[in-house]
A and B are shown apart, each in its own frame.
Chain A
C-alpha cells in the first residue's frame, strides 16, 4: 500500500510517491478507485526498478 501525495498540474492530477530512490508521478485524473491507483503506482515503480536492473 503506497502512501501518496497528489499534485495538481493544470487539469491533471498526479499521484506522487518517493520510494526506493525513485520519485514517481502517475496521472490519476478522474480516478476514484483506490485499488486502481495503487495498481498504477505499483506498475510504475516496478518499471522504474526494471529500468535500472535492465541497464547494460
Chain B
C-alpha cells in the first residue's frame, strides 16, 4: 500500500531519528519501506543499433554509455547483492523484440520477499509477469552468476514501449516488496 501526503508518495517514515521499515495495523502489514534508485539513462550501441537502454553495469567493462544508478536509500534488499541491470533490452536477449530486464548479481529468490513490483518512471512491472532466470555458468572463461527477471514484449521498434524519459535523463525506479 502506498501512503501519500497530498500528491506526493511517501518514501521514508521516521519516529524521532529512527527510520521505520514496516507499518502494521493490528497484525496486517500495510506499508513497507521501498527501495529507490535514481537511474541516469544510458544506451549501449552495437553495430550502430541500440542494444540496451537504461542502466547496465554488467557491461561497463565493454561499453561506455551504460548509464548509472544512484541508490537513494540504504535499506538492504536482495540479500545486499548488486543490482547490475535495469534496462530495456533488445537483440541479444529477446531476439527481434524488446523488453525490460532486471539483473541482480548472485542468486535471489523469485518471491514477494525479493520484490513485488518494479516501478520505472511510473511504469509498473509486476514480478509475477516476468520470466525468472538464475544461472551460474562459465563460458569462454567468463563466469556468469546472476538472477534476472525478464519482461518480454512484442514491440520490435525501438524505443517504443521503453519506460525511460530519455537518454541522459535521470528517472526514478521504485521497488516494493512484501516481507
Contact = CB atoms under 8 A, between A and B. Distances in A.
Interface of A: 9-10, 12, 14, 21-27, 29, 43-44, 46-48, 50-56
B137 A21 contact: yes
B93 A54 contact: yes
B134 to A, nearest CB: 4
Contacts of A22: 133-135, 137
Query: By DSSP majority rule, is chain A's interface helix, strand, loop, or mixed?
Result: mixed
A53 B94 CA distance: 12
A10 B127 CA distance: 12
Contacts of B150: 44, 47
A12 B91 contact: no
Contact of A52 (B110, B112, B144): B144
B132 A24 contact: yes
B82 interface: no
